[in-house]
Amino acid sequence: MKIEEESTDLINLKNFLDYNGKIEEKDVTFQKLMFIYKMAIKELDTKIEIFKEEFKTFYDYDLVDHVNTRIKSPKSIIQKMKKKECKLTYREMIENINDIAGIRVVCPLQKDIYSIKNLIQSIPGIETLKEKDYITQPKESGYSAYHIILGVPVMLSQQLIYVKVEVQIRTMAMDFWSSLEHKMKYKPNEEPSKKKAKEWVNCAKTINKLDEKMMLLNE
């Protein structure tokens, strides 16, 4: 297989950082970059799937309920870059947008979140770049989850590269709240009111109490 010089260069993530091109979603460069993020998701998703099946088979325990993966849409990447006041270049995108590749792990109980987090962080070769515990410290909106930004090694034919992946770990109850709240937040033609925001925070607190009760019942 003949590999063009330019494309071999750009397969290396470091070379993307030296490449001064502007983001253009229909551009081949953008597609190549998204391919690398997709492969990082695949790597990690397979490993989480193995933990999930292992716990079911060996310990008769459903540690993971389900896993969702997604690549952030170009529109949403650009929106986030503008919000963070980044220049719209590939370099700024790779450096500043941590959740282009995203994996959401949903589990039954709050204590499972920490088991999953520890299992993921113990995978050889995976680096933890950042952690955010929105369980002990929920966001102002009421949002609760555990976030980790990882450096995931992806072995391509020519080199090993590290790719950022954001993992969000939540209970089923937290997932229920955040999916609905996310939909409401982005509802067109509807201004979010202070009163509604307060109600969402109250719902999050109820959900949190429910999670704690469920955990006690399980003990």
Taking CB under 6 A as the binding criterion, the range among 58-66, 156-164, 176-184, 205-213 that sits at the site for ligand 0O2 is 176-184
Taking CB under 6 A as the binding criterion, the range among 16-24, 26-34, 43-51, 139-147 that sits at the site for ligand 0O2 is 139-147
Q: How would you label 180-211 residue by residue, b for 16+ Cβ within 10 Å and e otherwise?
A: ebeeeeeeeeeeeeeeeeeebbeebeebbeeb
Contact status: 132 vs ligand 0O2 (CB under 6 A): yes
Of 3 and 180, CB closest to ligand 0O2: 180
Contact status: 99 vs ligand 0O2 (CB under 6 A): yes
- Restricted to residues 35-74, the positions that interact with ligand 0O2 (CB under 6 A) are 72
Of 68 and 218, CB closest to ligand 0O2: 68
- Tell me how many degrees the CA angle 92-124-55 measures, rounded to the nearest 5: 110
Mask of contacts with ligand 0O2, 188-217, x by CB under 6 A? ------------------------------
Output phi, psi for 167, to 5 deg.
Answer: -110, 125
Q: Taking the CA atoms of 30, 97, 64 and 45 in sequence, report the sign of the dihedral they define.
A: positive
Q: Token pair for residue 88?
A: 């719209």
> How buried is residue 76: exposed, middle or buried, by Cβ count under 10 Å (0-12/13-18/19+)?
middle
Give the footprint of ligand 0O2 on this chain (CB under 6 A): 72, 76, 80, 98-99, 132, 139, 141, 143, 147, 178, 181-182
